[in-house]
Amino acid sequence: MADNLKPDEAGIPQKAPYVLELEPGEHHWCRCGRSTTQPFCNGAHKGTAFTPMAFTLTQKKTVAMCGCKRTGTPPFCNGAHRNLP
Protein backbone atom coordinates (compact mmCIF):
# COMPACT_ATOMS: atom_id res chain seq x y z
CA MET A 1 0.00 0.00 0.00
CA ALA A 2 1.23 3.47 -0.82
CA ASP A 3 2.31 5.74 2.03
CA ASN A 4 1.35 8.85 0.07
CA LEU A 5 -2.42 8.47 0.33
CA LYS A 6 -4.55 11.57 0.73
CA PRO A 7 -6.49 11.86 4.04
CA ASP A 8 -9.77 11.07 2.20
CA GLU A 9 -8.38 8.15 0.16
CA ALA A 10 -8.70 4.56 1.44
CA GLY A 11 -5.78 2.25 0.86
CA ILE A 12 -6.16 -1.23 -0.60
CA PRO A 13 -4.41 -3.64 1.75
CA GLN A 14 -5.36 -6.68 -0.35
CA LYS A 15 -7.50 -7.44 -3.38
CA ALA A 16 -9.31 -10.33 -1.72
CA PRO A 17 -11.47 -10.81 1.37
CA TYR A 18 -10.13 -11.75 4.79
CA VAL A 19 -11.92 -14.99 5.63
CA LEU A 20 -11.96 -15.35 9.41
CA GLU A 21 -13.80 -17.19 12.14
CA LEU A 22 -14.81 -14.52 14.65
CA GLU A 23 -16.01 -14.87 18.20
CA PRO A 24 -19.22 -13.20 19.40
CA GLY A 25 -18.85 -9.58 20.44
CA GLU A 26 -18.03 -6.15 19.04
CA HIS A 27 -15.39 -5.83 16.33
CA HIS A 28 -13.97 -2.76 14.55
CA TRP A 29 -13.32 -3.04 10.81
CA CYS A 30 -10.65 -0.75 9.34
CA ARG A 31 -12.12 1.54 6.67
CA CYS A 32 -8.95 3.50 5.84
CA GLY A 33 -6.78 0.58 4.70
CA ARG A 34 -3.78 1.79 6.74
CA SER A 35 -4.07 -0.54 9.74
CA THR A 36 -1.27 -3.07 10.27
CA THR A 37 -3.80 -5.39 11.94
CA GLN A 38 -6.07 -5.84 8.89
CA PRO A 39 -8.96 -6.19 8.61
CA PHE A 40 -9.29 -4.63 12.05
CA CYS A 41 -8.59 -1.06 13.16
CA ASN A 42 -5.40 -0.20 15.02
CA GLY A 43 -5.89 3.59 15.07
CA ALA A 44 -3.89 4.29 11.90
CA HIS A 45 -6.83 6.34 10.55
CA LYS A 46 -5.97 9.27 12.84
CA GLY A 47 -5.57 12.40 10.71
CA THR A 48 -7.69 10.98 7.88
CA ALA A 49 -11.36 11.31 6.93
CA PHE A 50 -11.98 7.72 8.12
CA THR A 51 -13.25 6.08 11.28
CA PRO A 52 -13.54 2.36 11.97
CA MET A 53 -16.85 0.57 11.52
CA ALA A 54 -18.10 -1.22 14.62
CA PHE A 55 -20.16 -4.37 14.16
CA THR A 56 -21.43 -7.00 16.56
CA LEU A 57 -21.76 -10.74 16.16
CA THR A 58 -24.08 -12.65 18.46
CA GLN A 59 -22.49 -16.03 17.76
CA LYS A 60 -19.23 -17.46 16.49
CA LYS A 61 -19.25 -17.11 12.70
CA THR A 62 -17.01 -17.44 9.65
CA VAL A 63 -17.08 -14.18 7.70
CA ALA A 64 -15.48 -12.76 4.55
CA MET A 65 -14.41 -9.22 5.47
CA CYS A 66 -13.60 -6.73 2.72
CA GLY A 67 -9.88 -6.33 2.09
CA CYS A 68 -10.03 -3.73 -0.70
CA LYS A 69 -12.17 -1.20 1.25
CA ARG A 70 -14.46 -0.75 -1.80
CA THR A 71 -17.36 -3.02 -0.79
CA GLY A 72 -20.95 -1.93 -1.04
CA THR A 73 -21.81 -4.11 1.98
CA PRO A 74 -19.32 -3.04 4.65
CA PRO A 75 -17.64 -4.61 6.52
CA PHE A 76 -18.27 -7.71 4.43
CA CYS A 77 -16.94 -8.52 0.96
CA ASN A 78 -19.30 -8.16 -1.99
CA GLY A 79 -16.76 -8.95 -4.72
CA ALA A 80 -15.84 -5.32 -5.48
CA HIS A 81 -12.16 -6.34 -5.54
CA ARG A 82 -12.79 -8.15 -8.83
CA ASN A 83 -13.32 -4.77 -10.53
CA LEU A 84 -10.05 -3.20 -9.36
CA PRO A 85 -7.20 -2.71 -11.81
Each residue of 15-63: pLDDT tens digit? 999 999 999 999 999 999 999 999 999 999 999 999 999 999 999 999 9
What's the DSSP call for residue 69? S
For residue 59, which amino acid is it? Answer: Q
How would residue 1 be classed by pLDDT, with cut points 50, 70 and 90?
very low
Residue 55 lies in a domain: yes
Q: Is residue 38 part of a domain?
A: yes
Q: What is the pLDDT of residue 18?
A: 98
**What pLDDT is stored for residue 3 in this prediction?**
59
Q: Which domain holds residue 32?
A: 10-65
The number of domains in the chain is 1
Residue 76 lies in a domain: no
HSE-CB at 47 with a 13 A cutoff on CA atoms is 4
Whether 50 is in a domain gets the answer: yes
CB 23 within 8 A of CB 57: yes
- Residue 32 placed within a domain: yes
**Cβ-based neighbours of 6, under 8 Å, separated by 6 or more:** none
Q: Is the pLDDT of residue 67 over 80?
A: yes
